[in-house]
Structure 1
Amino acid sequence: MRAGAPTLELEGPGEAADLAAFLGRLLRYDRAAAVRLQAHGGALAVFGRPPSFDVLAVRAARLARPADLDVTVSAGELLDGIEDAAPAVRVPQAVTGPPWAGLLPPRGGWHRVEGVPDAGAMRGVVAAAVAEFRARDEELGEAGRTRQARDRIGADIWSRTLAGTELPLRAVHAAQSLGFLRPGVPVALFAAGAWLRLRTPYGEIALRGATGGLGALQVTPA
């Protein structure tokens, strides 16, 4: 951490703990992960991209003091900069961000999508999909269990959409894997143009439509 690094004061130890947990989960998927930070007024938004899911994961934190910041940094260094006792987070030096970090979902124009299953139903769908993947993987046999074959099974299962919506199951799986989709929590789905956003009290998953992923984003940089 460089001398004189800016520090963001968090509103309570719970904010620090939740932010640390989010960063830790991202780093499990990518030890070199980068995150984009946007602080406006009393809110901090942390954007990351777990590569296994091809979605954006967003964790918000409340700030004790207003701040204005927009920077892409190392997730590992940011995690190291969290001070639980303060509570606060020291912002590391900016890094050259990956392509996704320059293209975020729109800030406005969202409308709520009705008819979304509750958290329990979503968790059940994920469990069933995981069980199907394991069964089909087992059917491949030792000789047929290649990376390509397993990827085809995964693409087939996780590209399916959640009943009654255009949300792909990989987004629901990401929400559960990152600790956002906990039993009994309220969930909501929003849409803005081609973008979808699954929101829970613990974080959000955003992506461009059911099949667009993040490789062909066409939005104005935030």
Structure 2
Amino acid sequence: MTFPPAERGLWLSGDFDRIDLAIFTDRALRLDDAAVIRLRTRGPDTVIAWVATGFDVLASRVVGGRVKPEDLSAGADALAMGLAAGPGAGYVDPGFAMDSAWHGGLPPESGFVHVDDVPARVMLDLADRGAELAREHGSAHGPPVSLLDQEVIAVSAGDVSVGVPMRCVFALTAMGFLPQSAQDVAADEIVRVRAQAAWLRIDARFGSVYRRRGDPSVVLR
């Protein structure tokens, strides 16, 4: 895969990657119609897409392809149009540069320690119960902060102990990183919890979410 000279944009490896990124972008738009997608080079032929979910949690998905420059931000609406413009591999126009619209930091690519694995069905059950509580006690502004901040799972490994807040559970399901029904989840499917000094990371079947530890206000809302 080569870049045309002096071009800015995204080049995807194939149909699967285009569909994958389109689903990610669509989910981001459902959460925020003004969402910004950040695209960064992950490896020689992989790109990682980032979005702020609105839960003070970042979501990411890796697709095959290349991006130029190696770190760019685009409006999710414009990126969705570019993805819909043509099938399969090749160039995607991400629209106007939106780099100044991304103000938060990103987690590091390495340094995470595997803490524990949680059954995916447990996560879906927690999401269902959380949604019921949100309907009962939420407002026009969304679920109550007390519910979002509640740590619904505690995991540990050695001297590392972390709590998983409901924010992360909601972000996982809102972005479609877990199947929407427990019937579509095998009994042995897991969600992997990792951590490092500043970040909590949760890896599910279709993507990962990250929550800043300590002061999550620095993460883009």
Q: Determine if the TM-score, normalized by the shorter chain, exceeds 0.5.
A: yes
Matched-pair contact (CA < 8 Å) for 2:31–2:53: yes
**Residues 158-169 of structure 1: pairs in structure 2 closer than 5 A:** 158-165=148-155, 166-169=163-166
Q: Deviations over 1:108-163 (max 9, x none)?
A: 1111012x3211111001111221233345xxxxxxxx65xx76x62121211132
In structure 2, the gaps of 5 or more residues are: 1-5, 156-162, 180-184
Q: Deviations over 1:30-68 (max 9, x none)?
A: 2121111102411101111122x11111111012x6876
The residue number in structure 2 matching 1:181 is 178
Distance (whole Å) between structure 1 residues aligned to residue 190 and residue 14 of structure 2: 23
Matched-pair contact (CA < 8 Å) for 2:137–2:144: no
Distance (whole Å) between structure 1 residues aligned to residue 170 and residue 196 of structure 2: 21
Distance (whole Å) between structure 2 residues aligned to residue 71 and residue 133 of structure 1: 35
Distance (whole Å) between structure 2 residues aligned to residue 108 and residue 135 of structure 1: 40
Distance (whole Å) between structure 2 residues aligned to residue 92 and residue 5 of structure 1: 12
Matched-pair contact (CA < 8 Å) for 2:38–2:73: yes
Matched-pair contact (CA < 8 Å) for 2:40–2:67: no
The residue number in structure 1 matching 2:51 is 48
**Residues 125-140 of structure 1: pairs in structure 2 closer than 5 A:** 125-136=126-137
Matched-pair contact (CA < 8 Å) for 1:110–1:192: yes
Identify which range, 54-63 or 82-91, moves more after superposition: 82-91
1:155 counterpart (145, 156, 159): 145
Matched-pair contact (CA < 8 Å) for 1:27–1:76: yes
Question: 1:181 is matched by which residue type in structure 2?
Answer: L
> What is the SS of the residue equivalent to 1:187?
strand
Distance (whole Å) between structure 2 residues aligned to residue 216 and residue 38 of structure 1: 20
Decide whether aligned partners of structure 1 residues 163 and 50 sit closer, same or farther in structure 2, where only a CA change above 3 A counts.
closer
Question: 1:93 is matched by which residue type in structure 2?
Answer: F
Matched-pair contact (CA < 8 Å) for 2:75–2:94: no
Matched-pair contact (CA < 8 Å) for 1:41–1:68: no
Q: Give the Å deviation of 1:191.
A: 0.5
Distance (whole Å) between structure 2 residues aligned to residue 195 and residue 159 of structure 1: 15
The residue number in structure 2 matching 1:14 is 16
Matched-pair contact (CA < 8 Å) for 1:16–1:84: no
The residue number in structure 2 matching 1:105 is 107
Query: What TM-score results when the alignment is normalised by the length of structure 1?
Result: 0.78
Query: What TM-score results when the alignment is normalised by the length of structure 2?
Result: 0.79
**Residues 110-125 of structure 1: pairs in structure 2 closer than 5 A:** 110-114=112-116, 116-125=117-126
Q: Give the Å deviation of 1:164.
A: 2.0
Matched-pair contact (CA < 8 Å) for 2:134–2:144: yes
Distance (whole Å) between structure 2 residues aligned to residue 154 and residue 90 of structure 1: 38
Q: Alignment identity in percent? A: 26
The residue number in structure 1 matching 2:211 is 207
